[in-house]
Structure 1
Amino acid sequence: MTAGELSAPAVVVTGATGAVGRHVARALARRGPVRSLVRDPGKAEALGIGGEIVVGDYRDGAGLERAFTGAGAVFVVTADPLRPQDDAHILDAARAAGVRRAVKLSWLAVADPRANDLVARWNRESERLLRSSGLAWTVLRMRTPMSNTLSWAASIRRESVVRALGGDARTACVDPRDVAEAAVRALTEPEHAGRTYALTGPELLSARAQTATLARVLGRPVGFEELTPEQALARWSARLPRPVAQALLEAAQRRQAGESAEVEGDLGGLLRRPPTTFAVWAADHASAFG
């Protein structure tokens, strides 16, 4: 960035402690003023998120006002399909404060007309709100993040096994760090306004193939056990509301039917380099799997 750009209004990062948002906040803090909206400042500190930290919730009007006062752009990340009003609250507060640009993190399943689960419908509506907000907008539709495999870490450490549904279903999982780099470009480069990008990794991989890659990285055998749909739903329901767990099951079943088995080229164009492979991501995160 030029010296003039460094004195530009702050960029607000919502979801700043999430898998993508943490990397966006860190990268922006190295370039200029950034303000992260978080519920847990201790977690933000532990993650080493730089810039200004604003404590608040998407339903907290005062917190949103503090975050957006004097800001010029916002990275929009919402995480709860049972709270669809969160996107409207963010965009309304941003518009009222004079924010001019918004980059939304969405999901690539939105582009599949056969995807009609709760999460897909929620993201479609969130995108509609963004496009009608009056802000200069960009949508980043990401495929399954590689960091989702961190949910396997405990069973790999304890039992050297991965248990998942749809072990042979292939998808082009994507490195959250790459998505964050794309988001920073969309937030700081004007040519991305009005664009929707499909962000995937560079290769189609199944859960079994990811397990094999983790085994090579760890230097020890790691087995794979296929879950039934009922077992997978029970596992998701133990930590998520039942409607969200049901949506995850429907998405997994679409993957099994081959409906997400595509590699898109938008990410490489945004990054101006090849997207990161799962093997590289796994080597970088090997310590998490023990």
Structure 2
Amino acid sequence: MRIIFMGSPEFAVGALNLLLKSKNEIIAVYAKAPKPSGRGQKLTKSPVHVIAEENNIGVCTPVSLKSLVEQEKFRNFKPEVAVVAAYGLVLPKKILDIPKYGCINIHPSLLPRWRGAAPIQHSILAGDQETGVSIMQLNEGLDSGPILKQKKLLIEKNDNYKTLHDKLSELGSDLLMEVLNEIEKHLPLEQNDDNACYANKIEDYKIYAGDACEAAYRKVKAFYPKAFIKIENKRVRILDADCQANTPLNFKQGEITNDNMCINLKDGTLIPKVVQMEGRNPCSIEDFIRGLKFSMVKKFIE
């Protein structure tokens, strides 16, 4: 088939690579426009943009698809289907209606659970035992279109955002190919809106003194590698941790209880294992404490 691929981040790369190896024809790639990155604020192309150019495929980076000019440009590609994976722009109805088989999306959750921008993080934060991938037909709603195919995936104890992201990217890529190979046989199944819940974009990655221990532990996993604590105005990322379900006596909530930086929280103790100070490399908690010039005892997270 003639396919337009629409995606930007690393999550979408696996699907694009599989399509490039298939007998389908990628006639165009749509990606978010390059944006300033790093200390020098150099314009950086998205992972999908880079892969497309390496394969000599034209890349379109519109800031919106609502204009008649962009819609006509899309139409002129004469796509039979558009594949969407973490693209980042809303597709208006006039775009959705152009391809013969519509626009199909790879979504990393078992819809209607966790519609929205951050389904992987929210599945970990909620303590879900399983997640999965949904291949869905896009409509004008937020991840509310009919399901073409789904596949479940167990969330393992050691999974964090990165490991789960990679597993779901691979699963979604394989599931996409199954759907495309049988595109005319699939009967879309409407979602039950009554069971919908939403994964809003996450902007606060801080672990607070008032957090319950289990909630803080899930933040470490869900926000990897961005979860952090603040101690005396110093920001320390926690990249890996354990959670112990007992509360030490004589310590207040949010207080650091020993030289290994164990943190007393509601209903338990958060035990950091791998940490990273701002501007430093990640290291074990033992190396981190050894490198400090002050004792952590009797200090509090903010």
- Work out whether the TM-score is over 0.5: no
TM-score interval for Structure 1 and Structure 2 normalised by the shorter chain: 0.3 to 0.5
TM superposition score normalised by structure 2: 0.40
TM superposition score normalised by structure 1: 0.42
Structure with the higher fraction of residues in helix conformation: 1
Higher relative contact order (CA 8 A, sep 6+): 1
Structure with the higher fraction of residues in strand conformation: 2
